[in-house]
Amino acid sequence: MALAAYSIYGEKKIMKKLVALAVVVSFVCLALSEIAQAQTGSNMIVTNRKANKVLDAFGSTAGSNVGIYTDYGSSNQRWAIAANGSGYTLREKKANLAMDTWNWGTGNGTNIAVYTYYGNGAQTFLIQDVGSGYYRITPSISTGQCIDAYGTSSGSNVGTWSYWGGTNQQWKIASGSYEGSTDCGTGWNIGYPWGRTHNGTVYMAWCGDTMVAVQPGANGYKYNSGASYSTTKLYMWSGDASAGAEAYCSAPTATGTWPAFWITTEGAWTGEVDMAEWKGSGTVWQNTYDGSWENKLTSSNNTYYKVSMALKSTADGSNDAWVWLYINGSWTATHTGSSFRNKNFWLIRNLQMEGDSGSPGPTSASFTCRSISQW
């Protein structure tokens, strides 16, 4: 009888452990699926942490080498990353060739190239979070190694090496546009609400979180570049007299580059707020227009900016709004937007060139504006 009681008690303990293990496994699987989902997509930019240059297929035939290069927004610098069994495949957009661990090599110095897609082990990679927004890319056939940039200049080769945590072995993976891409992301449309052109010397030919300007442009314009606007408008109505928006931006500052994250009124131009714009320098312009301009200029050398704006009625029943502006979480200015209440505002991100930012502009430039929220 005592033995039977012990047996039942032991089975219960085992069952409890199995249930606990199943819960842990389910949470781990969920976490892994969330990490994976964030790093897959049809137009991905893979940027080396140390060199700040992007993964580039140096040719469009099977066997072409892979290295790093300055981002020019070309399709051989954009990758379709998709789940493949226990890992992921990376296919460059120009020729749809897969990144390949050459000759199934497993030792230090194995070359990385592109090849006809077979989805085999040599073309399957693990993508592992190493913190701070960066990832280790590991060949599935050699899990002690990783994809390693052998230099920091454009044209440097990429191959495999034992992982030791160097910044040349870590990569940022983000969605972005490339020349000809019209994939703006969910909730965004290409160009401006009124078309493909605005101030400057640019035809807005594509869109996405990363906007790339290149020469020559379409329809007689000097540049093709990227712009998109949210399909959801900002609106301050009587029941909730507040609105706002926020984004994380990495902006070019060379003469002739003019990126911006801003709102403007639907229809007639009676109101505008530039949460951040850069006019050919590191100075951040924050401006409000309601018939006349208010401006706030902040000098900064940040690589990345968190920019935000909050609109709030100046008083109950008032049609005027306070415009509170922030950079990296710190208040920078309070402007007044006359008659901003009961108006629709378009939310826009774009990379203009020249115009107010000076000329001549560079032959190419890139602007990232991502993780956008609006309310």
Could you tell me the residue ranges of all domains in the chain? 41-175, 188-374
Is residue 353 within 8 Å of 200, Cβ to Cβ?
A: yes
| The two structure tokens encoding residue 23 | 């819960």
User: In angstroms, rounded to a whole number, what is the distance separating the alpha carbons of residues 121 and 101?
Assistant: 9
- The pLDDT value recorded for residue 240 is 61
Known catalytic residues are 272, 277
Q: What does the pLDDT read at residue 158?
A: 98
**Domain 41-175 is of which CATH architecture?**
Trefoil (2.80)
Q: What is the pLDDT of residue 30?
A: 33
Looking at residue 12, its pLDDT comes to 41
In this predicted structure, what is the pLDDT of residue 28? 34
pTM of the model: 0.59
What was the pLDDT predicted at 373?
85
| Mean pLDDT, 10 residues at a time, the chain of 375 residues | 38 41 36 46 88 93 94 80 92 93 97 96 95 93 96 96 97 70 76 92 88 90 94 78 85 95 96 96 96 94 83 85 93 95 93 95 90 84
pLDDT of 236 reads 76
Strand partners, 366: 212
Instruction: Report the relative pairing of strands 234-235 and 364-374 from DSSP bridges.
Output: unpaired
Could you give the CA distance from residue 165 to residue 57 in angstroms, rounded to a whole number?
Answer: 24
Q: DSSP letters along 212-249, please?
A: EEESSPSTT-SEEEEEEEESSPEE-BTTB-EEEEEEEE
**Number of H helices and number of E strands within the chain?**
1, 27
Q: Helix, strand, or coil here: 177?
A: coil
Pick the CATH number of 188-374 from 2.40.110.20, 3.90.550.10, 3.90.79.10, 2.60.120.200: 2.60.120.200
What's the one-letter identity of residue 147?
I
| Residue 177 pLDDT | 56
pLDDT attached to residue 111: 98
Predicted pLDDT of residue 17: 42
**Looking at residue 40, what is its pLDDT?**
80
C-alpha–C-alpha distance, residues 301 and 355, integer Å:
22
Q: Are residues 189 and 228 in contact, defined by beta-carbon separation less than 8 angstroms?
A: yes
Whose structure tokens read 């990569």? Answer: 171
Structure tokens belonging to residue 24 = 């842990």
